[in-house]
Amino acid sequence: MNNLSEKVLFCTVFLILANMCHSETLPAKPKLLWTHRLGSKSEGTPAVNSDIIFAATVDGQITALSHDGKQKWSRRIKGASFDAPPLLAGAYIVVGSSEGFVYAFKAKDGKTAWSYSTDDTIQGKAAWPKPNRVAVIGQSAGSIHYIDLLTGKPVWIVEETNRCDGSPTAKDGMLIFGNCDAAIHLYATKTGEKIRSIDLGAEGQIAGGVAINGSYVITGTQGGSIVCADINTGKIKWVFEDTDAAIYTTPAIENNRVVIAADSGTIYCMETSTGEMRWKASTDGTPSSPLLVDSRVIVSSDGVLHIFSLDSGRKLWSYNVGDEITSPAVAGNMIIVTGDDGIVSAFGAK
């Protein structure tokens, strides 16, 4: 895996729906509640629901934990490496492997429902556009695979776009993603036909994911710019260029604010409508994709978990977890991360 892939993988690009998912109020000063050791290194943000936490590892293991950290089941696919984050899609857990396979496991017991070969590395998280469909993008060629969730059979395939290090986002019958074409692409989920591409210019290669805000899409580029474009017309609404490094992360949106992290460790918060910067703050490390919960920004950086105020950018809390950790997930009133040491850590109110 090259250096860019490692950075993008650490950022754990994932869908904006996951970035905005929260159900209960988090404590102001979270405490470490429990840890659980997995079989090996975990690089993808865990998937969660109201009862279960699902974590994947680089040795092909998928594990389900209750919210108190007790293991419910664990399965391992021999020869597989799960670098991508798992997706909870109804009754299934879907995860792509570095070997090019997509696996669906039954969420209730971990039994393998099906596997599907893309003939390409899967680094990004799958998208779930419809109850019985999932979509994945191959990293090297940018091939798009639209798969029947119940059978594992392809519905349609786009053979090649361009290298894609991020994850697709589903919106109103479209799959939306950026890639090394320096463009944002929109494809129809019904047919697989391209709707349009939005050109971002010579420095506009995208290595992270995109966030959707109504009829607008927002993303960061390797050139360091943050771009907002109209999904319906393809026109650029605003561009913010006053960053200090390339961007490999996925933005998050809440309360008319968009937050994104640059590779320098700086977090930027802007107005979604105008691109005007509200504040910036430093994580003092290489950051993950941020998560927005209850007007707070939760972000991992070089093994440290941080919480900032969404209104002011003031740091509210931090905790040195240890080894490199994933982008955070929220399960109820807990923050969940996994790490290079193979440990799942849960933070909340004691």
CA angle 194, 256, 165 (to 5 degrees): 40
Contacts of 47 (CB under 8 A, 6+ apart): 53, 54, 85, 86, 87, 88, 93, 329
In the block, tokens 């469909």 appear at 133
Weakest mean pLDDT among 22-26, 230-234, 244-248, 266-270: 22-26
Question: What does DSSP assign to residue 126?
Answer: P
**pLDDT, tens digit (0-9, with 9 covering 90-100), for 189-241:** 999 999 999 999 999 999 999 999 999 999 999 999 999 999 999 999 999 99
**Residue 110 vs residue 10, higher pLDDT:** 110
Q: How many CA atoms lie within 13 A of 159 on its CB side?
A: 0
What are the structure tokens assigned to 301, written together? 């950086």
Q: How far apart are CA 191 and CA 11, in angstroms?
A: 31
Which domains are seen in the chain, by residue range? 3-348 (2.130.10.10)
Does this model's pTM top 0.95?
no
pLDDT of residue 246 exceeding 50: yes
- For the chain, what percent of residues have pLDDT higher than 90? 90
pLDDT value for 25: 85
User: Is residue 17 scored above 50 in pLDDT?
Assistant: no
Residue 22 reports pLDDT greater than 50? no
pLDDT tens digits, residue range 45-74? 999 999 999 999 999 999 999 999 999 999
pLDDT at 207: 93
Structure confidence at residue 323 (pLDDT)? 87
The pLDDT value given to residue 24: 62
- Whether residue 3 is predicted with pLDDT greater than 50 in this model: the reply is no
**Distance between CA atoms of residues 11 and 207, nearest Å:** 10
Residue 233 sits at φ, ψ, to 5 deg, of -110, -20
Polymer length of the chain: 350
Euclidean distance between CA atoms 306 and 144, whole angstroms:
34
Distances (CA, A) of 109 to 77, 94, 105, 274, 334: 15, 14, 8, 47, 23
